[in-house]
A and B are shown apart, each in its own frame.
Chain A
Amino acid sequence: MLTVRLAWRNLWRNRRRTVITVAAVALNTAVLIASYGLMDGMVVDTVHNITYLTVGDAQAHAPGYRREHSLYQDLQDPQALLAAADRAGIGAAPRAYGFGLVSSGSKSAGARFWGVVPARELQAFELARQLRQGRFLDEVSLPAGKRPVVLGNKLARSLHATVGSELVAVVQAVDGSLGNELFTVVGVLKTAGEDIDRTAAIIRHDDFAELFVSGGRVHEIAFNARGRLTPEQVVTLLQPAAAGAELLTWKKILPQLADMVQLFDAVIWIFGLIFMLAAALGVVNTLLMSTFERIHEFGVLKALGAGPLRIVRDVAAEAFLLALLSTLIGVAVGVVATVYLQHHGIDLSGLGGDITFGGVAFNPIWRATLTARIVWVPVVSMWLVCVLAALYPAAKAARLNVVRALTHV
């Protein structure tokens, strides 16, 4: 206890030096925390871009569907999976898919129809909010009898269609007959990936069932736990209700993207290490200098009879207190900065456009993420650095000849 009080007093004896050192360590800690927050945020954002739009944490399909996309490969028991997801509070969106032709005026193109439940899409995923024009499918927008459709933006462009345009859809239905219906475009999507942009024609589940005479078939259910659970946990939780369906995480469904995220993570990690080194350098530098300054002082102490161990212990205590104080301040500043960056983020767009990378849309606002990891890693490292950096010169001084210490400049 005495040591600590002495240490504290020692620190403040040379106020200027201590303030500078504390500032150095605190600033470095804060910068590290905010940077890590940004970097983790980038990885999280990338994963979100992939999963929150339409893919989700995991998806269920009938075996073979992902390869062949056949209208006849539907899920056996979608209700069981939906119920299980609802019970667990996991967002779940059932979808039916079928291919056909859409035509507007003299333009026609092949399209992939999505039969969705609008309320579930809105709740579980972001696609319903990513509209460049118009709105998503909901009951209110059209006069009775009109069927709404939302188009991918490249499909809309090739059909020369906008909100209000009328489309003819012609498909081969489940029973072999030719389904044909009129639809009214109520929305055009922003860039959401090559596939969606070029072929998506999203309609209500009921309209799909009528068009394709599909009797409510569901080809896919996508689950989104919105960060509350990991994708693997989602699969484990829902597996009992799967009943023969293939339930996979997004990483297995989009392995290319999983690779990309993994590599990204590794690169970020390397950057983190480099930042750490730079920060450590700054702290070491400061501490070394301040401790070396005091060799004269240590000489006096030794002359007065203090043993080498005593000196090291005192220095350690000071370093400890210094680290405590600085990191506390650093954490405070760092966390505040991170929270700010989490809310506002850094706007990287400056281009006004949307981007896809690896087939997935990209959000150009860079936000930080506040997690435990981004705080304790810098704090622990700074602590270690402080203590080590202070001990080295102290040990040196402790072993020095008193006279040399006293005359050290």
Chain B
Amino acid sequence: MLLLKLAWRSLWRNRRRTIITITAITLALTMAIFFIAFAEGVYAKMIDDAVRMQAGHLTVEHPEYRAAPAIDLTVEASAGLRRRIEALPGVEATKALVVGQGVARAGQGTSGVAVLGVEPEAERRSSPLARKLVAGSYFDRSDAAEVVLGLELARRLGLGSRRQAQKIVDFWWPSLSGFRRQRADWVEDLRPYLAPGRKLVIASNNADGELVEELARVRGVFSTGAVEVDGYLVQLPIDFARRLYGLAPGAANQLGVILGRADDLERIRLRVQKMVGRTSRVWTWKQVLPDLAAYIEVDGGSNMIFQGILFVLVLFVIFNTILMSVLERRREWAVLLAIGTTPGRLRGQIALESALLGLLGCLFGEALGGWLAHLLELHGLDLRTFYPNGLSVSGIAMDPIIHADLTWQLLVVCGLVVFLSTMLVSLYPMGQLRRIRLADVLRG
């Protein structure tokens, strides 16, 4: 106890030095926590957006589906199974998807399309697509003969009334004529936004291999910024898609599982696999989107290196401080030793001083770092102004609003690392202690 008091007092005797050291430790820890939480937030966002455009963090499919996708390779997506999966801790939602191909025919154009049969409720909540509608609205019934398609596709199919577009352009012409563009170009650009309500025929081969066609109307038009999506993807309400492709109600090509957090992936995957049995296979998003997984790993690697450099610099500060203090205090220690303090006790005092420094620094660091990261977690950083043209990663459009991802593990690990390093660094002065030759030091 006495040792503690001595250590504490001796720290505050040289206030400046103590404050500098504590500040260095605090800063190191704050920056580590903040930036790692931020980076994790970025990755989480990328994964989240990418995954919600697909089936989910986990995808349940027919075992042969991945190698050779075909409309007749389905999995059971019954309400009972889904409820059981959703009851697992960490699972946010499940969704069923029908995935096919076809040809879309409109009065003024035709195009090959990728067809996605979706559940309106689930998609509206979780899919970025539903949030990127530029005209019309999203589905609300799962059996309506409607489609939602991309702006680029709408343009290519010549959807949208030219007459109506012409009227609008003519009306606004006084303001538009300032721009150096032809009236006809304005009309053509405007037309896809007028697509909602227009007719479209979807033709395809169904599960039995027969040619099928269905009439549908455009319900909404989206624009994600990714050409592959905007130019070729058509979403249908899932029961309409089932009808088109001749699938049983409740059948799906993919059953997606969306998690609240992207960790615990493997554990949940195993549990879901057990639930679905041998008739289906469960894939993780890393297997479905290997490019994204690889990017995150590489970027994470470089991030770690940055953190490492920062850490080295800061450790250096701490080391330096302690070193200087050793030099400064040799005289003080010599005196102490001369009056009878045992080397053991002196070492103990020094160790305690370092521990206190470390503790205080870590305390402030955790508080400050944690607080800043938490703020960012709540409010998020809107980077859209930096990406006026949209952002896509591995072919998937992303919304650049980042929330930091702060976890207990992060706080604990960072704090521990910094504290231990501080203690390690202070081993040096202990070594120095042994080399003090009392008489020389006292003489000055």
Direct touch of chains A and B (CB < 8 A): yes
8 Å CB interface, A238-257 against B: 255-256
- Chain A residues near B297 (CB-CB < 8 A): 350-351
8 Å CB interface, B1-59 against A: 16-17, 20-21, 23-24, 27-28, 31
8 Å CB interface, A246-284 against B: 255-256, 258-260, 262-263, 266, 271, 274-275, 277-279, 281-282, 284
Bound CA–CA A255/B390 (angstroms): 9
Instruction: Say whether B291 contacts A27, CB under 8 Å.
Output: no
Bound CA–CA A282/B24 (angstroms): 8
With an 8 A cutoff between CB atoms, is A286 at the interface? Answer: yes
- Chain A residues near B298 (CB-CB < 8 A): 348-349, 351, 355, 362, 364
With an 8 A cutoff between CB atoms, is A356 at the interface? Answer: yes
| Interface of B (DSSP majority class) | helix
Which stretch from A163-171, A176-184, A289-297 is at the chain B interface? A289-297
Instruction: Say whether A256 contacts B389, CB under 8 Å.
Output: yes
**A114 smallest CB distance to B (angstroms):** 19
Name the one of A31, A275, A289, A353 contacting B294, with C-beta atoms under 8 angstroms: A353
Bound CA–CA A349/B305 (angstroms): 14
**B170 smallest CB distance to A (angstroms):** 25
With an 8 A cutoff between CB atoms, is B316 at the interface? Answer: yes
Instruction: Say whether A31 contacts B313, CB under 8 Å.
Output: yes
- Chain B residues near A24 (CB-CB < 8 A): 316, 320
**A246 smallest CB distance to B (angstroms):** 16
Name the one of A255, A263, A282, A354 contacting B317, with C-beta atoms under 8 angstroms: A282
With CB as the reference atom, state the residue of chain A lying closest to B311: A278
- Chain A residues near B225 (CB-CB < 8 A): 256
Bound CA–CA A355/B391 (angstroms): 17
- Chain B residues near A292 (CB-CB < 8 A): 16
8 Å CB interface, B303-328 against A: 305-306, 309-310, 312-314, 316-317, 320-321, 323-325, 327-328
- Chain A residues near B294 (CB-CB < 8 A): 351, 353-355
Instruction: Say whether B20 contacts A274, CB under 8 Å.
Output: no
Name the one of A20, A31, A277, A357 contacting B324, with C-beta atoms under 8 angstroms: A20
Name the one of A20, A277, A293, A362 contacting B320, with C-beta atoms under 8 angstroms: A20
Instruction: Say whether B312 contacts A356, CB under 8 Å.
Output: no
Bound CA–CA A256/B316 (angstroms): 40
With an 8 A cutoff between CB atoms, is B388 at the interface? Answer: yes
Q: Interface extent on A, as a size class?
A: 35 or more
Instruction: Say whether A350 contacts B301, CB under 8 Å.
Output: yes
B contact set with A: CB distance below 8 Å: 16-17, 20-21, 23-24, 27-28, 31, 225, 228, 290-291, 294-295, 297-298, 301-302, 305-306, 309-310, 312-314, 316-317, 320-321, 323-325, 327-328, 383, 386-395
Nearest 9 interchain pairs by C-beta = A278-B313, A282-B317, A289-B324, A355-B294, A348-B301, A255-B389, A263-B386, A194-B395, A259-B387
List 9 extra interface pairs beyond A24-B320, A275-B309, A281-B27, CB under 8 A. Answer: A17-B327, A31-B313, A191-B291, A260-B387, A274-B310, A348-B298, A350-B301, A353-B290, A362-B295
**A196 smallest CB distance to B (angstroms):** 12
- Chain B residues near A366 (CB-CB < 8 A): 302, 305
With an 8 A cutoff between CB atoms, is A35 at the interface? Answer: yes
Would you mind naming 22 contact pairs between A and B with Cβ atoms under 8 Å apart? A20-B323, A20-B327, A31-B309, A194-B395, A255-B389, A256-B389, A259-B387, A263-B386, A278-B310, A278-B314, A281-B27, A281-B317, A282-B316, A284-B20, A285-B321, A286-B320, A289-B325, A290-B324, A349-B298, A350-B297, A366-B302, A366-B305
